[in-house]
């Protein structure tokens, strides 16, 4: 994603002029402000504003849970306690606003997270750029045999080449016709809101997206996960690095309790306790369904 | 939208077997249940479940505003009062669940209404059908000269024919290649989650969409409006007919106060009062911006 | 909570007249409709409407995840899969509407669940009844020594009697003065919206409360939990019985995965794996904080 | 609301140390940060953080509606256009976080605005202060004869004195008993989560409350309105002053289009057009209900 000289100059200008504020400031986040992080072949995300830091979470928790908590634990311990016990409201006191450029099919997954504010580039008002997501050859993979919604082994070179040819060629032709429909050269020119329907779903769009830290964590838990589609996961993982710099203590709690942790069913808890007591547990005696037992073995051996 | 014989049989089966319930029942809505209302060339919407009726709105209002309201007004008068004074919570006590088949670019506008529940057909799991929205020739219009986001005059026959040719031809080729990428005949077959990106935005998708009556009214106010894009408006207008049969009193209030009413600025109120008093008001003395004055004249002469 | 003869007659009337519907019907829920379940000394909850059943969850999941899932698993297995993998949207397709009578301090905890629709009895319009929550003597407990927000051992008989005397006496006096302020007998009579402020927070209020099954599960996970205050937990537990009869398969998955399951941090997963491998894990080598280690030992021995 | 010396020192400390930021800064809002604005007898509200300014609204609108809008209108005109046409999403890009101290019965009205983040002081963890809202004598008014939810004429001096005596006396006794129940002096001491139920609804609580500008405007439209109860209106009006300084252009549009404007039904539009054409309109020929006609006459003469 090479930035245009205009865009680079704009970012330099915005970063050149710090202004005094009485608000809380996260130094880790100030370093990110406005700077695009490249994602996929033409996409990016960048922080354009934020509110709050680790201390804001602690402050909100202490108005709820009282000054008595002050002596009992330090800030990091309190944040871990909140995460462990699903006290989510203090995390809502932090807010982030992003500018994201992303393919339409990724945007359609992303928008399913409803507790967020969005302003998307409108193809009713404006003309979309000639930019399409074309996967790197190593990301072209066959349908997974075991997972109805996933990818399996990478495609062989010939098949990958054929796929890439079609993706590029169809997108180019669709865009040529998009321009030809819009053109007012010797014709009336089709309305933009209609012409856009000819473009494929790997066309890039962009939006401003704003959400609070609790909902951002929910997004990251689902989208930085191994089950998420590679393309949205690329954005989620870039965001993880941003959050780590913004609110290091909250990030640590999230990484330990959500990303790196595990959720057990009552049957799985019982099976583990029996194993710890030296018993052998079988699928038959576990009370689990076949699928649950398979996932249990995959996780616990 | 000709239904498959299987779909018609399923609808006949569902409608053939009424069951007793103690819940409130809207006769107008029972007549709609499961039956698809055709929209655009291959789309439809149909009601698959609902909760509540006009009486449920009144019941909720009376728990809030007390039995004292019982004598004072009949139900229709109370519902109009609620609508007039923006008491929106009683309308939230009714719920509707739809099954909708719609082009992706319409789905992308629709999903911006966040206070709703959605389950969309997943092209990660399943293969999309070969169905694309191709506008009727009379709906192909030029970009509006006065409205950056709207349509102006219809295209001439030649230009329309050229547009339709491209839309059909590009969609057909994109779908052929989609199938060819997915095929496991002599090759591995690309993952569905990747192959779908080659399809254009007029591809049809479908979803279950559930919302409450207050939020449905908000949707209809924006999407059954003259400023909405024709294609989403076609769905909104089909929905208007459903709501009219479901909750006739609430529909009447909504039609009078939101769809058919007007919102005035302080300056417009003042201008109307001066006019009623016999004064002549000009743009200069109105306190309005140029755009406000133009819209004022368009509405009030 | 003895019902008034009028209320009993109204419930009998509503239950006497089943009507035909083409919607899905949950027999388990029909048995509950309109019937109040007593909670605390004067409170209740009762179902006044519902939408959907286990089959509605499955139907929504299959539009998302495709017909291919149909062969692979039966409905209960699919519902467990959805719960296990946090696919929450299909559960949002079911909706419940309750009528609840509850003390104000319980209502203040309850209302923090924001994704719900509420119409509360308004003390601006109407006069509140002379009804207060007075705990049963066995529920009067001392402040917990170990838990800043919980109860410890029951109060001794003398202290409990003293507390009950104050609660009853202060409530009675406050209500006497509430009535005296409202009276228009020989005076103007204070506005209801002002007089109500004299009443204590154990005054009973009532509301209609409507939410979807996903958000209801979230409510139950937090409020039917051992950390919840006894009084709101009494409502949550009554609700658990309703949900079990309404959507038995979804309830089973929720009970196994949320109520009866466990969430582990990355450190707890590692500690369990080491233990299963025969290692001894200590607080020092666990990587846990003191509080985490204490909770780990309490859960796993 | 005299601040404690500690609170004053804390505010002075927070305001003494501006830090550099690259984010957008609203000078008008910086002047407000941390400073409490007194409301009612012991309450206040103060801004503890914010995000965005008028320029953030414009920036978000332009990503949606395209660079083409840049030439066409200046920022204030664009913001007015957004407000006029209910394009609410750009206003959601601004966020405000408040610290509010308020009586419980006001908090119960306030919390009905669900699209906000809240952390309230917890009386399960902590002990509430001996502070109660006691209305100024001139705010003690009789129940309105015409408006079921409003106040009418002020009470006479004797009746007002009687009301004030009861409010003060009952609150004092309730608080004495609250303390006596909590005391561990010679007894076990009742759990805080139970003792609090003895306190009246004019007890002060406090919370952090965070929302976006669109939802804040919705709050202000309902709560700074003449129909709102005086006590919550006092907070809303204090907030209006804050918003005016924060986002002057958005405030101006809101004041003209929402606070100072009017919403007309289809019947009212028709009646006004007939009047403008010189016709006389009567209740009978207006198509309005009695209540609508009365409100129409009150507004338009």
Find the mean pLDDT for residues C4-26. Answer: 92
What positions of C carry a catalytic annotation?
223
Average pLDDT over residues A152-161: 95
Per-residue pLDDT reduced to its tens digit, D91-142: 999 999 999 999 999 999 999 999 999 999 999 989 999 999 999 999 999 9
Contact B188 A142 (CB under 8 A): yes
Q: Is the CB of D188 less than 8 angstroms away from the CB of C108?
A: no
Mean pLDDT of C17-40: 96
**Which among A70, A151, A223, A294 is annotated as catalytic?**
A223
- Quick one: what percent of chain D has pLDDT higher than 70? 96
pLDDT of residue C65: 63
Q: Which helix (H) or strand (E) holds A46?
A: strand A43-51
Residue with tokens 């989609």: B178
Neighbours of chain D (3+ CB pairs under 8 A): A, B, C
Q: Give me the pLDDT at residue D2, please.
A: 60
- Strand extents, DSSP E, B1-73: 19-21, 37-39, 43-51
Q: How many CB pairs under 8 A join A and D?
A: 143
- Each domain of chain B, given as residue ranges in start order, spans 5-133+204-261, 136-201, 270-300
**A77 closest CB neighbour out of C68, C255, C289:** C289
Mean pLDDT check: name the lowest of A75-84, D176-185, D200-209: A75-84
pLDDT for the residue numbered B5: 86
C-beta separation of C155 from C142 below 8 A? yes
Lateral strand order in the sheet of B43-51: B37-39, B43-51, B95-103, B204-212, B117-120
Do D33 and A23 count as a contact with CB atoms less than 8 A apart? Answer: yes
Query: What is the mean predicted confidence (pLDDT) over C21-34?
Result: 97
Q: CA torsion, points C94, C99, C103, C105, in degrees to nearest 10?
A: 30
Write down the ipTM of this complex. 0.94
Residue D72 confidence (pLDDT): 47
Residues of C in contact with D173 (CB under 8 A): 170, 173
Q: Give whole-number Cα distances, B134 to B144, B150, B206, C223, in Å.
A: 20, 18, 17, 52
Averaged over A78-84, what is the pLDDT? 93
A276 contacts C260? CB cut-off 8 A: no
User: In this complex, do D262 and B273 lie within 8 Å of one another by their Cβ atoms?
Assistant: no
Task: Point out the residue among D149, D263, D289 whose CB comes nearest to the CB of B77.
Answer: D289
State the Cα torsion D52-D54-D55-D60 to the nearest 10°.
Answer: 80
Which residue in A25, A56, A120 is closest to D64 by CB distance? A120
Mean pLDDT of A67-87: 78
pLDDT at A30 over 80: yes
Q: What's residue B73's pLDDT?
A: 62
Q: Which residue has the tokens 């490249």?
A: A38
Nearest to D66 among A17, A30, A126 (CB): A126
pLDDT for residue B72:
47
Mean pLDDT of C149-174: 95
Residues of chain C whose beta carbon is less than 8 angstroms from a beta carbon of chain A are: 65-66, 68-69, 72-73, 77, 80-81, 84-86, 89, 112, 148-149, 221-222, 227, 255-257, 259-269, 272-273, 275-276, 289, 291-292, 295, 300-301
The residues near C1 (Cβ < 8 Å, ≥ 6 apart) are C36, C38, C39, C41, C42, C43, C44, C101
pLDDT-derived band at D5, boundaries 50, 70, 90: confident
* Whole-number Å distance between alpha carbons of B28 and B25: 9
**pLDDT, average across residues D44-63:** 94
Residue A70, pLDDT > 60, answer no
CB C25 to CB B21 under 8 A?
A: yes
Q: Reading across the β-sheet that carries C37-39, which strands appear in turn?
A: C37-39, C43-51, C95-103, C204-212, C117-120
Banded model confidence at residue B8, pLDDT cuts 50, 70, 90: confident
> Between these two residues, C125 and A234, which has the higher pLDDT value?
A234
> Would you place residue C69 in the very low, low, confident or very high pLDDT band (cuts 50, 70, 90)?
very low
Q: Which residue of B has its CA nearest to D74?
A: B289
Tokens (6 digits) for D181: 């129940």
Q: In angstroms, what separates the C-alpha of C168 from chain A's closest C-alpha?
A: 29
List chain B residues with CB under 8 Å of A190: 140-143, 155, 159, 163
Cα–Cα distance, C224 to C110 (Å, whole number) = 12
- What's the rounded mean pLDDT across residues D266-279? 96
- Chains C and D form CB pairs within 8 A to the count of 167
- Among chain B residues, the shortest Cα distance to C35 is held by B22
Residue in A with minimal Cα distance to C149: A65
CB contact under 8 A, C295 and A256: no
CA-nearest of A145, A170, A142, A153 to B192 is: A142
Question: B21–C22: do the CB atoms touch at under 8 Å?
Answer: no
- pTM across the whole model: 0.96
Q: pLDDT tier at D19 (50, 70, 90 boundaries)?
A: very high
**What pLDDT score does A147 carry?**
77
Cβ count near D193 (within 10 Å): 22
Q: Which residue of A has its CA nearest to D212?
A: A117
Mean pLDDT value of segment D201-206: 97
- pLDDT single digits (tens) C167-222: 999 999 999 999 999 999 999 999 999 999 999 999 999 999 999 999 999 999 99
B neighbours by CB contacts (3+ pairs under 8 Å): A, C, D
Give the pLDDT confidence score for residue C150 in this predicted structure: 85
Higher-confidence residue of D226 and D147: namely D226
- Beta-carbon separation of D191 and C124 below 8 A: no
User: A: neighbours with 3+ CB pairs under 8 Å?
Assistant: B, C, D
Contact A263 C263 (CB under 8 A): yes
**Average pLDDT for residues A210-221, to the nearest whole number?**
97
pLDDT digits (tens, 9 = 90+) for B228-245: 999 999 999 999 999 999
Q: What is the pLDDT of residues A256-296, one digit of tens each?
A: 999 999 999 999 999 999 999 999 999 999 999 988 999 99
Taking an 8 Å cut-off on Cβ atoms, the answer to whether D261 and B260 are in contact is no
Q: Which of B46, B192, B223, B290 is catalytic?
A: B223
Q: Which of D140, D188, D199, D210 has the highest number of chain C CBs within 10 A, making it the mutation to test binding with C?
A: D188
Q: How close is the nearest chain D Cα to the Cα of B104, in Å? A: 19
Closest CB to A22: pick one of D18, D52, D68: D18
Of A125, A180, A189, the CB nearest to B149: A125
User: What residues of chain C lie within 8 A of the CB of A267, using their CB?
Assistant: 256
Whole-number average pLDDT of chain D: 93
What is B5-133+204-261's CATH number? Answer: 3.30.1360.170
What residues of D act catalytically?
223
A223: CB partners within 8 A, 6+ apart: A109, A110, A232, A233, A235, A236
**pLDDT tens digits for range C73-113:** 688 999 999 999 899 999 999 999 999 999 999 999 999 99
Question: Distance, in angstroms, between B41 CA and closest chain A CA?
Answer: 15
Task: Place D65 in a pLDDT band, splitting at 50, 70 and 90.
Answer: low
Is the pLDDT confidence value at D71 over 70? no
Provide the sign of the torsion angle of the four alpha carbons B216, B222, B225, B231, taken in this order. Answer: negative
Identify whether A15 is a catalytic site residue. Answer: no
Is a pLDDT exceeding 50 seen at residue B69?
A: no
- For residues C160 and C172, give the distance between their C-alpha atoms in angstroms, rounded to a whole number: 18
Q: Which of B112, B276, B291 sits opposite D275 (nearest CB)?
A: B276
Residue of C213 and A68 predicted with greater confidence: C213
| Pairwise CA distance, residues A244 & A241, whole Å | 5
What is the model's pLDDT at position A72?
Answer: 47
Query: Which class does domain C5-133+203-261 fall in?
Result: alpha beta
Query: Residues of A with CB below 8 A from B179's CB?
Result: none
Q: What is the pLDDT of residue D68?
A: 46
Residue B13 pLDDT > 70: yes
CB contacts < 8 Å between A and B, how many?
Answer: 168
What is the rounded average pLDDT of the residues C51-61? 94
Query: Are D301 and B264 an interchain contact pair (Cβ–Cβ within 8 Å)?
Result: no
**Which residues of chain B lie closer than 8 angstroms to C50, CB-CB?**
23, 51
Mean pLDDT of all residues belonging to chain A: 93
Nearest to A190 among B125, B149, B155 (CB): B155
Question: Is residue C51 predicted with pLDDT exceeding 50?
Answer: yes
| Residues on chain B touching D227 (C-beta within 8 angstroms) | 85
The reply to whether CATH 3.20.20.140 applies to domain A5-133+202-261 is no
Task: Provide the 3-class DSSP secondary structure of residue D66.
Answer: coil
Residues in chain D with CB shorter than 8 Å from the CB of A99 are 63
């Amino acid at each position: 994603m090479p930035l245009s000289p205009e865009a680079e100059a704009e970012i330099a200008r915005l970063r050149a002029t710090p202004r005094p504020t009485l608000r809380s400031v996260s130094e880790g986040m100030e370093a990110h402000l406005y700077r695009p992080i490249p994602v996929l072949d033409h996409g990016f995300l960048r922080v354009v504003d934020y509110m709050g830091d680790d201390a804001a979470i602690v402050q909100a928790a202490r108005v709820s849970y009282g000054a008595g908590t002050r002596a009992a634990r330090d800030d990091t311990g309190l944040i871990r306690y909140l995460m462990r016990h699903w006290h989510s409201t203090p995390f809502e006191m932090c807010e982030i606003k992003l500018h994201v450029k992303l393919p339409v099919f990724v945007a359609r997954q992303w928008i399913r997270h409803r507790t967020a504010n969005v302003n998307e580039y409108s193809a009713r008002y404006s003309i979309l750029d000639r930019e399409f997501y074309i996967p790197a050859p190593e990301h072209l993979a066959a349908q997974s045999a075991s997972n109805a919604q996933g990818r399996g082994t990478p495609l062989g070179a010939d098949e990958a080449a054929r796929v890439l040819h079609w993706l590029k060629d169809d997108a180019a032709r669709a865009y040529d016709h998009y321009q030809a429909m819009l053109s007012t050269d010797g014709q009336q020119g089709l309305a933009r809101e209609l012409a856009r329907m000819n473009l494929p779903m790997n066309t890039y769009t962009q939006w401003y997206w704003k959400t609070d830290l609790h909902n951002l964590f929910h997004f990251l838990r689902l989208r930085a996960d191994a089950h998420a589609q590679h393309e949205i996961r690329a954005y989620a993982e870039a965001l993880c690095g941003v959050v780590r710099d913004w609110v290091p203590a909250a990030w640590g709690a999230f990484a330990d309790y959500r990303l790196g942790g595990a959720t057990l069913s009552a049957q799985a808890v019982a099976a583990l306790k029996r194993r710890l007591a030296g018993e052998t547990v079988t699928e038959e005696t576990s009370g689990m369904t076949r699928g649950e037992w398979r996932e249990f073995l995959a996780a616990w051996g």
